[in-house]
Chain A
Amino acid sequence: MKVIEISCLEVWREISNYLDDEVAPELRVRMEAHFKACAHCTAVLDGTKNVVKLVGDGIEYEPPEGFGQRLYSKLKEKINR
């Protein structure tokens, strides 16, 4: 069965969904064939995958020290009024 080729543009449109495993099986096959043949799109895929991993480490988004305690204190303060 011949795999229908897709353009780089189509790949870029779906690349985020592809990373989340949210593309239909036929599209997935076409995209994988495209990646095999296209160094630029493979680089985009790898780069985007790296970005998702870096962002996902989430070190910037840890609440500050004592956040939970201050939250609890505020709650206690308000409820005891």
Chain B
Amino acid sequence: MGAPAPDLHASQAELIRSAREGDKEAFYSLVHQCERAVYVAAIAILNNRADAEEVAQEAVLKAFANLAQFRGEAKFSTWLIQITINEARVRLRKDRRHLYESVDERQTDEEGEHVPKDFADWREVPSEALQREELRQALKQAIARLAPKYREVLILRDVQQLSTEETAQVLGISEGNVKARLLRARLQMRDALAPGIDGSWSTGKAEYQKVRPW
């Protein structure tokens, strides 16, 4: 039996009321509207599709179990995404695999300026001209190589299109921090996606230098 068609006419408040009374169809309607966002939030933290699906399921079950605690002032999706991110972080702590990732993660937001590389011919390399698959791979690798705190913000802001405010809320950081991390993530991505000397895609090395130009 497939998933039910979500009732888009019922308001969030009505659906929550029904869901609190144990109506799983109502609850699923709420979830269905943001299930992709849940998956993306899980991937943002875990960087792994299989784990992301499991964590998404756990988060949804946890949300159902804790529905009485949802105050209804915020959006349901924000609340659910927050639960997802927390579940993902718990999973990350339990999973020792991430300890072996070679990530140069600095403990504090570094004060060093990111000096963007100078690629004179970037503008002359339109994405349409590149092999689609090659580009996808380069993109995937570049994102996977970002330090976790930059990757999380990049995915939530630029893939999921959450607002700065919402991103700050679900990650538990300040808006200023979101903006600073997003800047660094975007600039690092640009550096990583540099066209090679011969104009074709190269993934480049993910060594982001801290440079003081003065």
* Contact status A47-B190, CB under 8 Å: yes
* Contact status B122-A16, CB under 8 Å: no
* Contact status B123-A43, CB under 8 Å: yes
Q: Is A37 an interface residue (CB 8 A)?
A: no
**Contact A60-B136, Cβ < 8 Å, known A12-B114, A43-B122:** yes
* Contact status A67-B39, CB under 8 Å: yes
Q: Is A1 an interface residue (CB 8 A)?
A: no
* Contact status B159-A55, CB under 8 Å: yes
**Contact A16-B183, Cβ < 8 Å, known A55-B159, A67-B53:** yes
Q: Which residues of B have CB within 8 Å of A15?
A: 183, 186-187
* Contact status B139-A54, CB under 8 Å: yes
* Contact status B154-A55, CB under 8 Å: yes
* Contact status A71-B57, CB under 8 Å: yes
CB distance from A67 to the nearest CB of B (A): 6
How far apart are the CA atoms of A43 and B120 in the complex, in Å?
7
**Contact A63-B35, Cβ < 8 Å, known A12-B113, A75-B28:** yes
Q: Which residues of A have CB within 8 Å of B27?
A: 75
Q: Is B199 an interface residue (CB 8 A)?
A: no
* Contact status B35-A55, CB under 8 Å: no
- Interface size of B in residues (CB-CB distance below 8 Å): 52
CB distance from B173 to the nearest CB of A (A): 16
* Contact status A9-B113, CB under 8 Å: yes
- Interface size of A in residues (CB-CB distance below 8 Å): 41
Interface secondary structure of A, over-half rule: helix
How far apart are the CA atoms of A71 and B139 in the complex, in Å?
28
Q: Is A52 an interface residue (CB 8 A)?
A: yes
How far apart are the CA atoms of A76 and B60 in the complex, in Å?
11
Q: Is A25 an interface residue (CB 8 A)?
A: no
- Interface residues, chain A, with chain B CB atoms under 8 Å away: 9, 12-13, 15-17, 19-20, 22, 39-40, 43-44, 46-48, 50-56, 58-64, 67-72, 74-76, 78-79
Q: List 18 contacting pairs A-B, 8 Å CB cutoff, sorted by A.
A: A12-B113, A15-B186, A16-B186, A19-B186, A22-B164, A39-B120, A43-B120, A44-B187, A55-B139, A60-B140, A61-B39, A61-B160, A63-B39, A63-B56, A72-B3, A74-B61, A75-B28, A75-B60
- Interface residues, chain B, with chain A CB atoms under 8 Å away: 2-4, 22, 24, 27-28, 31-32, 35-36, 39-40, 43, 49, 53, 56-57, 60-61, 64, 113-116, 118-120, 122-123, 127, 135-136, 139-140, 143, 154-155, 158-161, 164, 179, 182-183, 186-187, 189-190, 193, 213
